[in-house]
């Protein structure tokens, strides 16, 4: 009975963390978050299960913006330790106005739980498609707006580790801290975001930038390796990474991802390969870690949970799971304005289990009963 009593006390603590300002309007919620106390949930769920929320590639249209409000309400109605948006706050062809970023900040700060975010290529890399914008200027804006403190966003804020070494490129040509790369832990699980981008990781599209790519890619690999080292030192039960790009894992998905030889991890479709070095380093670390590793991304707008990562001999990595969140489907309005709940049980063998959350108000093809 002690386990049951303790689990109920954790539930009550989670409710208290999620409480506050629920009757305020969306703009007021964002303002109220600034006055909310910073919290740590590192001890929350220690040895007990908890839930997190994942979403991304939203909103791309006015209809989806309305759907995001309903999605946030749905998340707020559940007890979540934190949420993560895996990038792309708008469509790739739309303008990169400041209003896009401030609207997103309002969404994140309307979430009761700590809210994390990692940039997407539509937010900065693809801004070069419009001659009025510069990709690195836009990334600098995101770094200042979303990542200017060591805390998450959301009404309750969680303190995070930040990659503070000046390894990434800024708009003025100087090297700056990759402050968007974050790491935190809840219970015995370690989470980390990495700035890994679609559009060939900034090696293709309108204005590819190999110098920017090389710096950020090296920083991402260093952050990933450091995360695994920390997980080993702390005897973490599992690791979860969150980034934007679908790098492509094999030869089976030409419609949605780069084609890649799953053994050599070399891209085979003739496009610049911005991911092979990163994937090779990731594979080596996953095999050495042995415990569960989840890799969350968006980019190709196709919800799935699978195991596409193979070793150099063509054998599936049994401890690795790829998770792609729901994303834009402008042709069907709010059809895919949904989110994914992940149940995390540090004491279980697989640690992560997945429950897609179909927001009743956002159903299009089949109305809610």
For the stretch 246-293, pLDDT in tens is: 999 999 999 999 999 999 999 999 999 999 999 999 999 999 999 999
CA 237/CA 73 separation, integer angstroms: 31
- Report how far residue 285's alpha carbon sits from residue 96's, in angstroms, rounded to the nearest whole number: 36
Residue 110 in this model has a pLDDT that exceeds 50: yes
Q: What is the pLDDT of residue 47?
A: 66
**What average pLDDT score do residues 145-156 get?**
98
Q: What is the pLDDT of residue 6?
A: 36
Dist CA 30 CA 228 (whole Å): 34
Distance (Å, rounded) from C-alpha 260 to C-alpha 287?
Answer: 19
Q: Is the pLDDT of residue 343 over 60?
A: yes
Supply the pLDDT for residue 340.
98
Query: What pLDDT digit, counting tens, does each position of 219-239 carry?
Result: 999 999 999 999 999 999 999
Neighbouring C-alpha atoms within 13 Å toward the C-beta of 369: 0
Do residues 325 and 296 lie in contact, with contact meaning Cβ atoms separated by under 8 Å? yes
Question: Across the chain, what does the average pLDDT equal?
Answer: 90
What pLDDT, on a 0 to 100 scale, did the predictor assign at position 48?
Answer: 85
User: How far is the C-alpha of 102 from the C-alpha of 215, rounded, in Å?
Assistant: 28
Claim: this prediction has a pTM higher than 0.85: yes
Q: What is the pLDDT of residues 23-72, one digit of tens each?
A: 333 333 333 333 344 554 544 545 689 999 999 999 999 999 999 999 99
Flag the least confident range among 11-25, 35-49, 298-312. Answer: 11-25
pLDDT band at 89 (very low <50, low <70, confident <90, very high): very high
Output the pLDDT for position 308: 98
pLDDT above 90 (res 353): yes
Q: What is the rounded average pLDDT of the residues 298-323?
A: 98
Residue 202 has pLDDT above 60, yes or no: yes
Asked if the model's pLDDT at residue 81 lies above 50, the reply is yes
pLDDT at residue number 38 = 52
What are the b/e assignments for 109-137, b being 16+ CB within 10 Å?
Answer: bbbbbbbbbbbbbbbbbbbbbeeeebbbe
CA dist., res. 197 & res. 203, Å (int): 10
Mean pLDDT of 309-338: 97
Q: In this prediction, what percent of the chain has a pLDDT beyond 90?
A: 87
């Amino acid at each position: 009975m002690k386990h049951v009593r303790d689990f109920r006390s954790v539930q009550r603590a989670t409710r208290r963390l999620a409480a506050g300002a629920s009757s305020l309007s969306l703009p007021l919620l964002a303002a109220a978050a600034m006055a909310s106390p910073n919290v740590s949930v590192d001890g929350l769920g220690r040895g007990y299960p908890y839930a997190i929320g994942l979403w991304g590639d939203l909103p791309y249209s006015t209809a989806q913006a309305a759907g995001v409000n309903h999605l946030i309400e749905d998340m707020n109605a559940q007890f979540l330790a934190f949420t993560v948006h895996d990038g792309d706050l708008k469509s790739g062809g739309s303008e990169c106005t400041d209003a896009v970023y401030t609207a997103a900040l309002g969404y994140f700060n309307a979430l009761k739980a700590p809210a994390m975010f990692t940039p997407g290529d539509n937010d900065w890399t693809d801004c070069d498609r419009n001659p009025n914008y510069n990709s690195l200027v836009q990334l600098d804006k995101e770094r200042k707006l979303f990542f200017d403190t060591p805390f998450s966003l959301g009404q309750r804020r969680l303190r995070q580790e930040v990659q503070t070494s000046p390894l990434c490129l800024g708009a003025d040509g100087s090297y700056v801290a990759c402050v968007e790369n974050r790491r935190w832990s809840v219970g015995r699980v370690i989470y980390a975001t990495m700035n890994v981008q679609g559009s060939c990781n900034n090696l293709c599209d309108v204005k590819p930038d190999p110098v920017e790519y090389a710096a950020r890619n090296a920083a991402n690999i260093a952050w990933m390796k450091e995360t695994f080292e920390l997980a080993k030192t702390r005897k973490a039960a599992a690791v979860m990474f969150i980034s934007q790009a679908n790098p492509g894992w094999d030869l089976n998905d030409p419609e949605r991802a780069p084609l890649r030889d799953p053994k050599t991890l070399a891209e085979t479709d003739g496009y610049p390969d911005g991911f092979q070095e990163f994937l090779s380093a990731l594979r080596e670390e996953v095999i050495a870690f042995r415990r569960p590793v989840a890799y969350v991304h968006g980019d190709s707008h196709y919800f799935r949970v699978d195991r596409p990562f193979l070793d150099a001999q063509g054998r599936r990595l049994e401890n690795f799971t790829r998770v792609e969140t729901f994303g834009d489907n402008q042709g069907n309005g709010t059809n895919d304005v949904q989110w994914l709940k992940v149940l995390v049980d540090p004491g279980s063998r697989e640690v992560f289990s997945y429950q897609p959350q179909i927001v009743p108000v956002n159903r299009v093809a089949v109305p809610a009963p």
